[in-house]
Amino acid sequence: MRISHRTQKGEEAYPTEIPQFGLGVFLMADDGDCKSSVLAALHAGYNHIDTASMYQNERDVGRALKETGIERSSVFITTKLRRGDAVGYEEAIEQCKKSLELLDTDYIDLYLVHAPPVDPEHRAPVWKAMEYCLEQGWVKSIGVSNYGVAHLDAMKKYANYMPSVNQVEYNPWLQRPHLKQATEDAGAKLMAYSPLARGKKVADPKLGEIAQRLNCTPAQVAIKFCYDQGCITIPKSSNPSRIVENIASLNIDISSEMDAIIALEENYVSGWDPTTEP
Ligand SMILES: NC(=O)c1ccc[n+]([C@@H]2O[C@H](COP(=O)([O-])OP(=O)(O)OC[C@H]3O[C@@H](n4cnc5c(N)ncnc54)[C@H](OP(=O)(O)O)[C@@H]3O)[C@@H](O)[C@H]2O)c1
């Protein structure tokens, strides 16, 4: 999938290709299941890993990549500026350098502001720092995460380059049509985190019935739904057989059950939701 940044003049800048499917590594431990899960995923055909400074496992993501011997350009790495570090221009630049070092890489494919900086005064300088990292070539693309409609709107006043991606919780139980539209109107793609609602909805009986009719697993229905809605989709699993199961969802045709899946909507937030903060 192609992503790019819209300039003030409405032109496209820094276009790049992003694999629309990847492995999320939240709650995977450095020196624990992170490296083995990334290795299992790369082996299963994944070519996109979503990590974050906050997850404290960037070093293991880098190590796994080195261990496989796969060329750096064949794997897309997304990482994020920790919210607590999003407090100013210099601080954000320092954190980008730190992530590059931990990942042991010359560049990051996609660098995200993990959530709107708590102090609204910090939002413009932090984004300026993200733009600087982009211009330096340290990162190939920049974006935001957990930005709501108002946060995106405010960016139009201070951004030279609008974000290429907005990563937010998105799944059959939280479909966010307004936020998805606002993200696309800003020239960005929606990146669906927690496509399984953190595992809390995999046992939903209605989802189970749909999966049975489609002859696949419940998790596969939820993942493929996000993917078919045009979202970059990054389910997490530390379980090697589920890692394979999850990528296999890309081959499943769920179109006959689309109405039933859309009807699962219940505005359910499985984790946090900074999109509604002022
Ligand atoms: N930007 C943000 O603020 C933010 C917030 C949350 C998440 N994220 C990103 O999005 C990624 C995914 O979201 P998430 O980790 O919150 O949750 P998720 O992917 O919705 O769900 C992960 C949970 O589902 C289980 N699971 C995975 N595959 C399964 C399957 N096939 N069948 C049954 N259960 C399955 C996992 O357990 P096992 O590991 O045991 O399989 C885990 O407990 C994260 O890892 C992270 O990279 C970003």
pLDDT at 89 over 90: yes
Q: What is the pLDDT of residue 248?
A: 98
How many angstroms separate the CA atoms of 199 and 52, rounded? Answer: 20
Contact 50, 76 (CB under 8 A): no
Phi/psi for 173 (5° steps) reads -95, -5
What average pLDDT does the segment 141-158 reach? 98
Is 45:51 a contact under the CB 8 Å cutoff?
no
CA of 177 to the centre of ligand 1 (A): 22
274 falls within a domain: no
| pLDDT for 209 | 98
**Which pLDDT belongs to residue 90?**
98
Look at ligand 1, atom 27, and give the residue with the nearest C-alpha: 237
Which pLDDT band, with edges at 50, 70 and 90, does 18 fall under? very high
Mean pLDDT of the chain: 97
Q: Burial level of 275, CB count in 10 A (0-12/13-18/19+)?
A: buried
**196-218 confidence digits (pLDDT tens):** 999 999 999 999 999 999 999 99
β-bridge pairing 12-17 and 2-6: antiparallel
Q: How confident is the model at residue 30 (pLDDT cuts 50, 70, 90)?
A: confident
**Which atom of ligand 1 is nearest to 218's Cα?**
32
pLDDT tens-digit readout, 38-52: 999 999 999 999 999
In a domain, 107, yes or no: yes
Please report the pLDDT score of residue 31 as a whole number: 74
Cβ neighbours of 122 (radius 10 Å):
18
Domain membership of residue 106 (yes or no) is yes
Average pLDDT over residues 19-24: 98
Q: Which residue's CA is minimally distant from atom 4 of ligand 1?
A: 193
Q: Average pLDDT in the 146-174 region?
A: 98
In a domain, 44, yes or no: yes
* Range of the structural domain that residue 177 is part of: 15-198+229-239
**What is the mean predicted confidence (pLDDT) over 85-103?**
98
pLDDT of residue 269: 98
Please state the rounded mean pLDDT for residues 254-265. 98
Domain of 191, CATH number, reads 3.20.20.100
If you take atom 39 of ligand 1, which residue's CA is the nearest one? 237
In a domain, 213, yes or no: no
pLDDT of residue 64: 96
Q: Say if residue 255's pLDDT is above 90.
A: yes
Centre of ligand 1 from the C-alpha of residue 174, in Å: 15
Q: Is residue 4 part of a domain?
A: no
**What are 227's strand-pairing partners?**
none
Most informative mutation of 76, 151, 193 for ligand 1 (most atoms within 8 A of CB): 193
Query: Positive or negative, the Cα torsion across 100, 104, 107, 111?
Result: negative
How remote is the CA of residue 89 from the centroid of ligand 1, in Å?
Answer: 31
- Give ligand 1 pocket residues (Cβ under 6 A): 24-26, 50, 114, 145-146, 167, 193-199, 202, 219, 234-239, 242, 245-246, 271
pLDDT tens digits, one per residue of 234-245: 999 999 999 999
Count: domains in the chain: 1
* Residue 145, in any domain of the structure: yes
**Among 49, 171, 237, residue to substitute to test ligand 1 (most atoms within 8 Å of Cβ):** 237
| Cα(162)–Cα(13) distance, integer angstroms | 9
28, 169, 194, best to mutate for ligand 1 pocket (most atoms within 8 Å of CB): 194
| Closest C-alpha residue for ligand 1 atom 16 | 194
Q: What is the model's pLDDT at position 125?
A: 98
**What pTM, to 2 d.p., does this model score?**
0.98
Catalytic residue among 55, 111, 193, 227: 55
Average pLDDT over residues 114-140: 98
Ligand 1, atom nearest to 37 Cα: 39
Judge whether 269 lies within some domain. no
The residue written with tokens 């045709």 in the block is: 253
Q: Is 55 among the catalytic positions?
A: yes
- Tell me what pLDDT residue 29 has: 84
